[in-house]
Amino acid sequence: MLLLLRSAIARRSLAGSLCLSTALAACAAQAASFTMYRDANCGCCLAWADHIEGSDGHDVNAVDHPDMASVKAENGVPGDLQSCHTAIVEGYVIEGHVPVADVERLLVERPAGVKGLAVAGMPMGSPGMEHGNHRQAFQVIAFGPEGHSVWASYPASH
């Protein structure tokens, strides 16, 4: 019996090691369903949804909403982090043009105290705001009850 237990533990350790040796997201990548609230007149929101859906089979349900300020308030998006659209995925708030890789990392890591991720404003070159090869520098900010912190940074490019 002890030998069987040791064998099972060894298999789990090997599986854990293999998972750690590959990309973290690849080990736990799951298709997720997003609900994205947007102003009906904003086209970049749909371009961001296309970016999300182009990765790992994610699905985005776009909901036109006449009062985006109320959506942001109801979901606790800080005023200094607001952008054009607000998405909800697995209980997290995704505000603005957050790259899919950062959302997937959030869904894998599930850090304590993080309510969501945001890219404030609408930086040129962020997902959904592409225009040629030009990209403004921007940061993805993790936010929650304890405040804000930088989740990822993207440099400018020309």
SS (H, E, C) 87-141: EEECCEEEEECCCHHHHHHHHHHCCCCCCEEEECCCCCCCCCCCECCEECCEEEE
Question: For residue 143, what are the CA distances in angstroms to 35, 116, 132?
Answer: 19, 6, 30
Tell me the one-letter amino acid at 50: D
Distant-in-sequence, close-in-space partners of 109: CB < 8 Å, separation ≥ 6:
24
pTM over 0.75: yes
pLDDT, tens digit only, all 158 positions of the chain: 433 333 333 333 333 333 333 344 444 558 999 999 999 998 899 999 999 998 778 999 999 999 999 999 999 999 999 999 999 999 999 999 999 999 999 999 999 999 999 999 999 999 999 988 899 999 999 999 999 999 999 999 98
Cα end-to-end span (Å), the chain: 63
Backbone angles phi, psi at 72, to 5 degrees: -65, -40
Measure the CA–CA gap between 125 and 156, rounded to whole angstroms: 9
- Phi, psi values for residue 92, rounded to 5°: -95, 150
